[in-house]
Chain A
């Protein structure tokens, strides 16, 4: 085919706003890293909660928003990650911080057989399948007598008090043992959240991310242009399981007490996470960040009202889905065109105007 010899085309992926935001984000992370030196212990615990929920939400968003895999069984990976960490500490006598890694590995290993079964299902059946997997794992873990069976167990007090980094914080900055443990878990949560957002952003900007978007939009057409849909979805599923397992292990290092019902709670580790992503904006990196802040604010405001809390959360979720299906961030970006984590590739040069936009995301 004869093609015109135009060679001055180029591709833009960044925007001025995103470059500016990168600088702001670096400052925010540095300020957050120093929070233990100026913030109260209860604020550090709140930030820990926000950061770990953000990690879970980014994981679920990657699965459902980008790969089209609507899982309601993410509690399986939180639970198995937490139990793997406990087994590392209690049975292998590992440091809890080192044992967190076991949580991620165990969750990724669990994702292999889980994917084998659930990837044969589509849509709502996939969702139900993931829940069934989570319930099976919960029932199996409840039989594990060495970790307390159905009633659960606690981390040995010595392990919590002698966790990696605590001595250093006590000796250098004068933290008490329990406060130092909170600081260690907070820093780990901050690192995990930054790494998760970084990895998700890198993935979405990569060739694999583009293939993932194609599979989400039309799997049949994606296969016909050479995209290995199953492979890409499997990579995302396993990666998300690993991240979710790490988050689960970290959450239970801080809690220091575990039971199957709590660690495999569909409400705590999947329903709330879905709420965060839906109200923030599914299919965007910014959405879960907004969502987790709204969720935390609502939780704090409404926690004194008993079951009204859940009713208001549910009602808000329904309203957002009906009137702003792209979430709060979607509403904002539709009006302003601002993207903090742009993943679009814009063709520029030739006869195209530099300002040419691709809709709300472009």
Chain B
């Protein structure tokens, strides 16, 4: 069963067509990886799904409901969680307070019920020792973990991860992948944009390839990575 479905979704900024007739489905419990060169429209795709950018044409269905014109706040409340490519923490709040905001608003739980839940997410994402630190003082890895933790605090049904492994060392990347695998194993549906392919393919069951705002391939990782078109366009290899 599809939890998220995009049907012919298009978006242009003036003459620049950043998304062209994008159509795909995300199945319940599935991890879908999204790859493509810089400027392919990957983050724009997330912004269209979350409502941060309005769709020009096409339709987005989330959990069977047409959410094409629904504002981002309501999409979050209905179970769509996201991280940002460039971490966007609430810098003057502590790490713990960042999660409380997400839990209190995104999951509509009273604060009295949130302490244990948020603390457990901080333990899971390796941030518990930084719980009372200001988010603005975190390192890049910690900010990326906070993005993940904050999205988790909204208790989403679908999690959108935007280049969460980018800029991390190999060791940091492994640790983050292990956390994401754990989240996915619990049954959460995930769409993950990533340039670090070994990290992505260790979690994703299917890959979707974007180029110039178009879907040029979708399928199992091996098949996609061996496709001539993908190797030429995305990997820049002559076949």
Contacts and interface: CB of A to CB of B under 8 A. Distances in A.
B12 to A, nearest CB: 21
A10 interface: yes
A344 B131 contact: no
Interface string A161-184: 000000000000000000000000
A358 B119 contact: no
B94 interface: yes
Interface in B43-86: 50, 52, 71-73, 76-77, 82, 84
A336 interface: no
A225 B186 contact: no
B94 A362 contact: yes
A225 B154 contact: yes
Contacts of B131: 347, 352, 356
A358 B132 contact: yes
Nearest to B72: A223
B49 to A, nearest CB: 11
Given A3-B121, A4-B120, A225-B76, A345 B100 contact: yes
Interface stretch (B13-21, B110-118, B167-175, B211-219): B110-118
B104 interface: yes
B91 interface: yes
Interface in A209-250: 210-211, 213-214, 216-218, 220-229
B221 interface: no
A350 interface: yes
B234 interface: no
Contacts of B97: 210, 213, 344-345
Q: Is the interface of A mostly helix, strand, loop or mixed?
A: loop
A362 B134 contact: yes
B137 interface: yes
Q: Please indicate which of the listed interface residues A6, A222, A347, A352 has the most CB atoms of chain B within 10 Å of its own CB.
A: A347
B182 A2 contact: yes
B116 to A, nearest CB: 5
Given A6-B123, A347-B115, A356 B132 contact: yes
A158 interface: no
A357 interface: yes
A98 B153 CA distance: 48
B124 interface: yes
Q: Is the interface of B mostly helix, strand, loop or mixed?
A: helix
B89 interface: yes
A359 B76 CA distance: 30
Interface string A284-314: 0000000000000000000000000000000
Interface string A28-49: 0000000000000000000000
Given A9-B119, A226-B77, A358-B134, A350 B94 contact: no
Contact of A217 (B90, B121, B123): B90
Interface residues of A, number: 42
B96 A346 contact: yes
B177 interface: no
Contacts of A220: 52, 88
B45 to A, nearest CB: 15
A322 interface: no
B94 A358 contact: yes
B94 to A, nearest CB: 4
A211 to B, nearest CB: 6
A342 B182 CA distance: 37
Interface in B147-167: 150-154
B90 A218 contact: yes
A226 B128 CA distance: 23
Contacts of A356: 131-132
A210 B98 CA distance: 9
Contacts of A214: 90, 93, 98, 101, 105
A354 B8 CA distance: 54
A23 interface: no
B132 A346 contact: yes
B106 to A, nearest CB: 4
A6 B116 contact: yes
B142 interface: no
A1 B133 contact: no
Nearest to A228: B73
A226 B89 CA distance: 14
Given A218-B89, A359-B134, A10 B115 contact: yes
7 contacts: A214-B105, A217-B91, A223-B52, A223-B73, A224-B50, A226-B73, A349-B119
Interface of B: 50, 52, 71-73, 76-77, 82, 84, 88-94, 96-98, 100-102, 104-108, 111, 115-124, 128-129, 131-134, 137, 150-154, 182-183, 186, 188
